[in-house]
Amino acid sequence: MLTLNINYDILQDRLITIKLPEEVNPGQHELVIILDQKTAQLTNAKKLMQFAGTIAAFQKIDGLAYQREIRSEWK
């Protein structure tokens, strides 16, 4: 088994082309593609964090206490 980790920018047409290394023999193979979107989510999180602390109404709320209160309802 050969594992390739490739960073690839997906374009609007969503087509990808991959040239495999010479050690891959011609013939039928099983190809598994895993899309890891953690990078995209992290980028979105950074964009959202620019607003942290900017809403005056939320500055007096303890975020951790609020989360604990909400989660206590799950029990």
CA 24 vs CA 21, 31, 52, 59: distances in Å: 6, 12, 49, 57
The pLDDT, as a whole number, for residue 27 is: 95
Domain-wise residue ranges, the chain: 1-75
User: What is the tens place of the pLDDT at every residue in 37-61?
Assistant: 766 556 677 787 888 888 888 888 8
The pLDDT, as a whole number, for residue 39 is: 61
Percentage with pLDDT > 70 across the chain: 92
The pLDDT, as a whole number, for residue 28 is: 94
CB 18 within 8 Å of CB 31: no
**Closest alpha carbon to 4 in 25, 26, 19:** 19
The pLDDT, as a whole number, for residue 15 is: 92
- Average per-residue pLDDT for the chain: 84
CB 6 within 8 Å of CB 18: yes
